Amino acid sequence: MAVEKMSIAKALNESLRLALDTDPKVLIMGEDVGKLGGVFRITDGLQKDFGEERVIDTPLAESGIVGTAIGLALRGYRPIVEIQFDGFVFPAYDQIVTQLAKMHARALGKIKLPVVVRIPYGGGIGAVEHHSESPEALFAHVAGLKVVSPANASDAYWMMQQAVQSDDPVIFFEPKRRYWDKGEVDTESIPGPLHKAVTVREGSDLTLVAYGPMVKVCLEAAAAAQEEGKSVEVLDLRSMSPIDFDAIQTSVEKTGRLVVVHEAPVFYGSGAEIAARITERSFYHLEAPVLRVGGYHVPYPPARLEEEYLPGLDRVLDAVDRSLAY
């Protein structure tokens, strides 16, 4: 057993280090990932130890970062690229959607695109515009991409390993406001598959589904509900594409109630997809409509308003109450 307590940021750093160490074809690319170690220091010290040929500072051009990573992947490399912030991924969106996602299919499977796109995402850090968005649904909607987000240090460590080893492109959303949350990482015990949801709290009255930064809020909500005598189960989805619908279905058919929680706007969000699928699969088990808690259909607000926008404990508990009232 090699269990160590570390932050999510540290777990990602250790995982990237392991990836560079294990496979000489793994590269890290992005703006400021070298000497600075990234604006969140996720790549701290990696260029010092692996050199400028493995940990590559790039020009300030997101489409160029992803586009050249595609070329490097075609040459046999496994690039892990860092997009500095969620709102900056859009200049690269074209390369991700029209090229990265589709090239394997276009070649009838003859070539593989093992590229990981790391995106620190979500709000709650008091940042300026374009630094707090949750665009995961925009990527999950695109066939050919895998979209994942860890919620704890262990998953940060292991899901990064699994993403790097994937022969498909992976959009790896890192919950930036949780970077400094600590948790235990067992660096020897390999966990389950990348796309498997995990029950992080057992319950019998209602199921909360969340991923990334909202898992912590949902666990807090479940603990608060317990004090009121309500037994709430919490599922950490971990993967937004594909989604482990079987795990959600199993939980919902036990509890009869489902509330999906995410930071992204509710409209056309991943909660909509989960609600629709679970309604199809488990209609006769549901005691209440599937409810969603998330952001509003407005641009991400200025920092002084983000606490109103982001789903917090009270909004989640309110949805729990509404569901239980049916």
The residues annotated as belonging to the active site are 131
Among 43, 68, 161, 249, binds other proteins (CB under 8 A): 68
Rounded Cα distance, 155 and 235, in Å? 14
Binding flag, residue 190, other proteins (CB under 8 A): no
Binding flag, residue 242, other proteins (CB under 8 A): yes
Pair type for strands 170-175 and 258-265: unpaired
How many residues touch other proteins under the rule CB under 8 A: the total is 47
Question: Taking the complex as a whole, how short is the minimal distance between the CB of residue 234 and other proteins, in angstroms?
Answer: 22
Question: Taking the complex as a whole, how short is the minimal distance between the CB of residue 106 and other proteins, in angstroms?
Answer: 4
Q: Which residue is listed with tokens 């308003």? A: 305
Residue 49: helix, strand or coil by DSSP? Answer: helix
Chain residues 102-121 in contact with other proteins, contact rule CB under 8 A: 102-113
Contact (Cβ atoms closer than 8 angstroms) between residue 99 and residue 70: yes
Phi, psi of 310 (to 5 degrees): -75, 140
Which range in 33-41, 64-72, 219-227, 260-268 contacts other proteins by CB under 8 A? Answer: 64-72
In this complex, which beta carbon is closest to other proteins, that of residue 6 or of residue 163? 163
Which range in 117-125, 140-148, 261-269, 303-311 contacts other proteins by CB under 8 A? Answer: 140-148
Tokens of 281: 């699969």
Binding flag, residue 287, other proteins (CB under 8 A): no
Q: Which residues have CB under 8 Å from 264's CB, separation 6+?
A: 134, 135, 136, 137, 270, 294, 295
Specify burial of residue 246 (Cβ count, 10 A radius: 0-12, 13-18, 19+). exposed
Rounded Cα distance, 89 and 62, in Å? 7
Contact (Cβ atoms closer than 8 angstroms) between residue 208 and residue 197: no
Binding flag, residue 191, other proteins (CB under 8 A): no
Binding flag, residue 241, other proteins (CB under 8 A): yes
Binding flag, residue 210, other proteins (CB under 8 A): no
Which range in 82-90, 94-102, 178-186, 293-301 contacts other proteins by CB under 8 A? Answer: 94-102
Question: Taking the complex as a whole, how short is the minimal distance between the CB of residue 76 and other proteins, in angstroms?
Answer: 7
Contact (Cβ atoms closer than 8 angstroms) between residue 172 and residue 164: no
Tokens of 193: 């598959």
Among 39, 41, 88, 94, binds other proteins (CB under 8 A): 94
Among 243, 248, 259, 316, binds other proteins (CB under 8 A): 243
In this complex, which beta carbon is closest to other proteins, that of residue 13 or of residue 95? 95
Phi, psi of 271 (to 5 degrees): -60, -35
In this complex, which beta carbon is closest to other proteins, that of residue 68 or of residue 255? 68
Neighbours of 305 (CB within 10 A): 11
DSSP string, 277-289: HHHHHHGGG-SS-
Question: Taking the complex as a whole, how short is the minimal distance between the CB of residue 173 and other proteins, in angstroms?
Answer: 18
Nearest Cα to Cα of residue 217 among 248, 259, 257, 245: 259
Binding flag, residue 72, other proteins (CB under 8 A): yes
Chain residues 2-41 in contact with other proteins, contact rule CB under 8 A: none
The footprint of other proteins (CB under 8 A) covers 53, 58-59, 61, 63-64, 66-77, 91, 94-95, 98-99, 102-113, 143-144, 146, 166-168, 195, 241-245
